[in-house]
Chains A and B, each alone.
Chain A
Amino acid sequence: MDRFWACNLNRYKDVIDKSSHMGELSFMLYFDHAASSPLCPEALKTLQSTMERDFYNPSAAHKWGKELNKKTGEIRDNFKAALKAPKDSRFVFTSSASESNNSLIKGLGLSKEDSLYVSFGDHASLVKPAFALSEEIKNVLELPLDDVGVPCCSLLPSALDKNLKLVLVSTVNSQSGGLLDVQKFAAELKEKAPWVHLHLDAVQSFGKYEIDLSSGLIDSMTVSAHKMGGPKGVGALWLKKGLGLNPLLHGGNQETDYRSSTIAYPLIASFYSAFEVAQKNYQNDFERVLSLRDKLVSSLKEISSDLEFPFDPNRCSPYIISMMWKGISSDIVLRTLEQKEVAIASTSACSSKIKGENPTMKALGLPTSVHKFVLRISLGKMSTEEEVDAFISIFKEVYSELQMFVKR
Chain B
Amino acid sequence: MAKNSILINVDELWLKGGNRSRLMKVLKEHVKDLFKAFNTSSKFENSNQRFLVTINDELSEETLEALKKVPGIYSIIPASLMEKDNELSAIWPAVDKEVESWGEDFTTFKVEGHRTDKQFPKNSMEIERLVGAYVLKKYDGKLKVDVHKPKQRLDIKVLRDEIAVSSRKEIAVGGLPWGTSGHLITMLSGGFDSPVASYLMSKRGCKQSFIFFYAYPFVGDEVKDKIFELTKVLGQYQAFSKLYIVPFGEVQKKVSGICEEKYRTILFRKMMVETSNLLADRVRAQAILTGDALGQVSSQTIGNISLIDDASKRPIFRPLMGMNKRDIIKLSEEIGTHDISTIPHDDACSLFAPKNPIIKPDKRYWHRFEEENDLTPILTEALDQAEVYQVNVRGELTKA
A interface residues (Cβ-Cβ under 8 A, vs B):
329, 331-332, 335-336, 338-339, 353, 355, 401, 404-405
In the complex, the 9 A-B pairs of residues with the closest C-beta atoms, listed nearest first: A335-B217, A336-B217, A339-B217, A404-B256, A405-B351, A332-B218, A331-B220, A335-B220, A331-B346
Give 15 CB contacts A-B under 8 Å.
A329-B346, A329-B351, A331-B346, A332-B346, A332-B351, A335-B216, A335-B217, A336-B217, A339-B216, A353-B222, A401-B253, A404-B257, A405-B256, A405-B351, A405-B352
Which of B216, B217, B218, B352: most chain A Cβ within 10 A?
Answer: B217
* Residues of chain A contacted by B351 (CB below 8 angstroms): 329, 332, 405
**A405, B218: Cβ atoms closer than 8 Å:** yes
Interface: B150 (CB within 8 A): no
* Residues of chain B contacted by A331 (CB below 8 angstroms): 220, 346
* Residues of chain A contacted by B344 (CB below 8 angstroms): 355
Min Cβ gap A355→B in Å is 6
Q: Which residues of B (316-354) have their CB < 8 Å from a CB of A?
A: 344, 346, 351-352
**B257, A338: Cβ atoms closer than 8 Å:** no
Q: Which residues of B (339-396) have their CB < 8 Å from a CB of A?
A: 344, 346, 351-352
Beyond A335-B216, A339-B217, 8 additional contacts (C-beta under 8 Å) are A331-B220, A332-B351, A335-B217, A335-B218, A401-B253, A404-B257, A405-B351, A405-B352
* Residues of chain B contacted by A335 (CB below 8 angstroms): 216-218, 220
As a 0/1 sequence over residues 226 to 268 of chain B, the CB contacts with chain A under 8 angstroms (1 = contact) are 0000000000000000000000000001001100000000000
B interface residues (Cβ-Cβ under 8 A, vs A):
216-218, 220, 222, 253, 256-257, 344, 346, 351-352
CA A329 to CA B219, docked complex, whole Å: 10
* Residues of chain B contacted by A329 (CB below 8 angstroms): 346, 351
CA A401 to CA B217, docked complex, whole Å: 12
Which of A353, A401, A404: most chain B Cβ within 10 A?
Answer: A404
Which of B216, B220, B222, B256: most chain A Cβ within 10 A?
Answer: B220
CA A338 to CA B256, docked complex, whole Å: 21
CA A115 to CA B40, docked complex, whole Å: 63
* Residues of chain B contacted by A405 (CB below 8 angstroms): 218, 256, 351-352
Min Cβ gap B356→A in Å is 14
Residue of B nearest to A398 (CB): B217
Residue of B nearest to A337 (CB): B217
Min Cβ gap A343→B in Å is 13
**A332, B217: Cβ atoms closer than 8 Å:** yes
Min Cβ gap A21→B in Å is 15
Min Cβ gap A199→B in Å is 36
CA A83 to CA B170, docked complex, whole Å: 73
CA A335 to CA B218, docked complex, whole Å: 7
Min Cβ gap A325→B in Å is 14
Min Cβ gap B248→A in Å is 13
CA A405 to CA B256, docked complex, whole Å: 9
* Residues of chain A contacted by B217 (CB below 8 angstroms): 332, 335-336, 338-339
* Residues of chain A contacted by B218 (CB below 8 angstroms): 332, 335, 405
Min Cβ gap A83→B in Å is 41
CA A362 to CA B81, docked complex, whole Å: 68
Min Cβ gap B50→A in Å is 50
Residue of B nearest to A352 (CB): B220
CA A329 to CA B256, docked complex, whole Å: 18
Residue of A nearest to B351 (CB): A405
Min Cβ gap A358→B in Å is 15
Min Cβ gap B219→A in Å is 8
* Residues of chain A contacted by B352 (CB below 8 angstroms): 405
* Residues of chain B contacted by A336 (CB below 8 angstroms): 217
Residue of B nearest to A339 (CB): B217
* Residues of chain A contacted by B346 (CB below 8 angstroms): 329, 331-332
* Residues of chain B contacted by A338 (CB below 8 angstroms): 217
Min Cβ gap B302→A in Å is 29
Min Cβ gap A330→B in Å is 11
CA A336 to CA B216, docked complex, whole Å: 8
* Residues of chain B contacted by A339 (CB below 8 angstroms): 216-217
CA A331 to CA B216, docked complex, whole Å: 11
CA A331 to CA B346, docked complex, whole Å: 9
* Residues of chain B contacted by A401 (CB below 8 angstroms): 253
* Residues of chain B contacted by A332 (CB below 8 angstroms): 217-218, 346, 351
* Residues of chain A contacted by B216 (CB below 8 angstroms): 335, 339
